[in-house]
Chains A and B, each alone.
Chain A
Amino acid sequence: MLGERWERATILIQAFGAIAAVGHLGFNWTAYMRARGDTRPLAVNGVVSAAVFLAAGVPLTLALGLPGFALGLLAMTAAGLTVRGLYLGRLFAGFHLGRHAVRALAPSLPAPAVILLVRAAEGGAQRGAGLVLAELALYLAVTVVATVALERPLLREAAGYLRGGTLRPAGA
């Protein structure tokens, strides 16, 4: 779809995908810190992220090119997540970003696992558009099924808020 010019950027697109996914873990923490009137953690996070990018991202980019840039962004995201987890643990006693991640990511993991299994079964066969679209459809279907299966109470609660009817909160 994108063409040959983008071939070298494949690793970068994959890294952006991974960063978009992982970076959403606790992404809304900034709103909570601001609401509490404690914005220092946001500044710390910004400084740490910038420092990691300068210390790791720039050298890796110079040494490895686009893959190095992708690695630098991943390192920056990892550092940001560490800072985020640290301050969230202080704000919410007993909160652990890792445990939250396991629970929050559970609905999203079956689909990639299924796709990787399917690809392993394909055994490196020629990938046509039909196969890619079938995989994509399978990916979406498994995601929807897993999400509904594992997050049904939360989805029902959210839908209740949108409808404005009687609310029955799901467990946090």
Chain B
Amino acid sequence: MVTPGWYDLRALPAQLPLPARLDGLRCLDVGTFDGFWAFELERRGASEVMAVDLLDPLGWDWPAGSVPDTVEAIGQRKRGGAGFELAAAALGGAQRLRPRNRKGVRELLGTPRGGRPQRHRPHAGLDPRRRARHRPGRRRRDRSGRLDSQLTDRLDAIITQTLYPAVCAVADRTELLFETFVKSNRLALMWAMPFGLGLALFAPDLVASCSASAGSGQPS
């Protein structure tokens, strides 16, 4: 099922570090629009998915200077949550809540009026078995890709699926944050520093060896 929506999100689930299975978990999708992520979470087995949104575009926090035509156009795209309702009717699911108003969103998030919502903490509270599924080694490999893209994908996977979620999980615990910061930086410097200093030291040889051999005819 495809709704007009706002963005085409269909390529994103494969790129984001969402757990493959969410069985037994309760999920909250804030700003659900047509409910793409809500239905995706449900498809992954979440026991309960709560989708919330503000249906009236005038109730959104628009950047200063936003053009009224833009506000109206995006509001029409949302069509009062019609896309969500359509998908909900087609896909079923008894645990889903319908989009709420702004007050309902505040109550749901436990946020006082004018206050800030709770910080997003990916993977916080998952048990160790579930965390293990996030290890980059378990990521599906793209056999058709080149070696360099596989390596960068792997590095990207390590950062997005392991390091950054780990940092987010301890974002409120400064002592753990400090420890991970210092250690991860020292690990990175173990290769970056010798590489950089080596490049600085051997740059003249990197350039000059060929020019010397070209001039003398001798290998250098």
Contact = CB atoms under 8 A, between A and B. Distances in A.
Contact of B211 (A4, A28, A172): A4
A7 B208 contact: yes
Contacts of B208: 7, 10, 127
A92 B178 contact: yes
B199 to A, nearest CB: 3
> Which of A20, A21, A25, A127 is packed against the most chain B CB atoms within 10 Å?
A21
B105 interface: no
A41 to B, nearest CB: 14
Contact of B197 (A17, A132, A164): A17
A172 B192 contact: no
B121 to A, nearest CB: 9
A23 to B, nearest CB: 8
A123 interface: no
Q: Is the interface of A mostly helix, strand, loop or mixed?
A: helix
Shortest beta-carbon contacts, A-B, top 6: A21-B196, A17-B199, A17-B200, A108-B193, A20-B196, A24-B192
Interface of A: 1-4, 6-7, 9-10, 13-22, 24-29, 31-32, 35-37, 88, 91-93, 95, 100, 103-105, 107-108, 111-112, 115-116, 127-129, 132, 135-136, 139-140, 143, 147, 151, 154, 157-158, 164, 169-170, 172
